[in-house]
Structure 1
Amino acid sequence: MGVVMFYHLTRSSAEDTLRLLLPRALGQGWRVMLRGTDRVRLEALDLALWRVPEEGFLPHGMEGGPHDAVQPVLLGTGAIGNGAQALMLLDGAETQAAEAAPLERVWILFDGLDEAELARARGQWKALTGAGVKAQYWSEESGRWEKKAEAG
């Protein structure tokens, strides 16, 4: 069983944070499902990930293509479609304990300046930790990422 890591974004954008986390996940040999709630936003992320030459190529694809099952990073709104060992959630996308528990890592990125996203993240923390899933809360309020809480 891995851990669910809650990333409270107050300084960095979701895009900057996923550019930090995704290469680390791929470096571990994990496939990643990047789940969002808005297809248009995911398509914009898809384009942004193709335009990152200074950070190196980040292999990925959009859900619904012919090669979903083999994508190292699959962007979509649905179920894990690439056999991922890790799941990244953006824009209020959710997971359940049964999905999260067997994964190596789950990242929940949420906008700390958006009250609705903050409330949703708190609800996910309670639901997941209440079901026995290990979780960590990370904050960047000091200017760098720091682990502020841990459960399980």
Structure 2
Amino acid sequence: MTEILFYHLTESTLENALPGLIERSVERKWRVVIQTGSEERRDSLDNHLWTWSDASFLAHATDLEPYPEEQPIILTTGDGNPNGATVRFLVDGAAPRNVEKYDRLVLMFDGHDQQQLEQAREQWKALKAEGHTLTYWQQNAEGRWEKKA
């Protein structure tokens, strides 16, 4: 059964929060696919992940580059799984599909964006109605994740 986690950004941006979560996934030897809501966001995150930390390196590629199956992390706008990932991150309103093909599905949404909040609520309801077990994480004042449901 796929573990489905909702991450509610309230204290930091996606650019600040996502790399740490990806890094922990890769440390666990999980392959990761990150689905964005637009090509512009995919390309922006691609650039950001190369430079996000002087102390860390996240080897990755976009779905436009050759040999995606060799990449531990792929950024895409589509719903495919070009690197055989077991973990899928959905950001900026990307819709979950083929949920059962992953060990973990992580939906991240900006708490300051009303459209993303509403979309996350609808996704929660739909996934819950399908019988999935869901967990909800929200940032505290220090930006740490706290399990709320």
TM-score higher than 0.5? yes
Take 2:74 and 2:82, find their aligned partners in 1: how far apart are those partners?
Answer: 8
2:104 corresponds in structure 1 to 105
* Matched-pair contact (CA < 8 Å) for 2:6–2:106: yes
Take 2:138 and 2:52, find their aligned partners in 1: how far apart are those partners?
Answer: 25
The alignment partner of 1:75 has SS state of strand
Take 1:8 and 1:135, find their aligned partners in 2: how far apart are those partners?
Answer: 13
Pairing of 1:80-119 with structure 2 (within 5 A): 80-96=81-97, 99-119=98-118
Take 1:17 and 1:112, find their aligned partners in 2: how far apart are those partners?
Answer: 13
Take 1:140 and 1:53, find their aligned partners in 2: how far apart are those partners?
Answer: 21
Pairing of 1:43-122 with structure 2 (within 5 A): 43-78=43-78, 79-96=80-97, 99-122=98-121
Q: Which amino acid aligns with 2:83?
A: N
Take 1:115 and 1:87, find their aligned partners in 2: how far apart are those partners?
Answer: 23
TM-score by length of 1: 0.91
CA change 1:7–1:53 in 2 (3 A) is closer
* Matched-pair contact (CA < 8 Å) for 1:85–1:104: yes
Q: Say whether 1:124 aligns with 2:123.
A: yes
Cα offsets for 1:26-69 (capped at 9, x unmatched): 11111111000111111111111111342311010011211112
Q: Which amino acid aligns with 1:55?
A: A
* Matched-pair contact (CA < 8 Å) for 1:101–1:133: no
Take 1:102 and 1:74, find their aligned partners in 2: how far apart are those partners?
Answer: 16
The alignment partner of 1:66 has SS state of coil
TM-score by length of 2: 0.92
Q: How many residues align?
A: 147
The alignment partner of 2:54 has SS state of helix
* Matched-pair contact (CA < 8 Å) for 2:31–2:85: yes
* Matched-pair contact (CA < 8 Å) for 1:5–1:108: yes
Deviation >3 Å, runs of 4+: none
Take 2:112 and 2:88, find their aligned partners in 1: how far apart are those partners?
Answer: 23
Unpaired runs of 5+ in structure 2? none
Q: Between the two proteins, what is the percent identity of the paired residues? A: 39
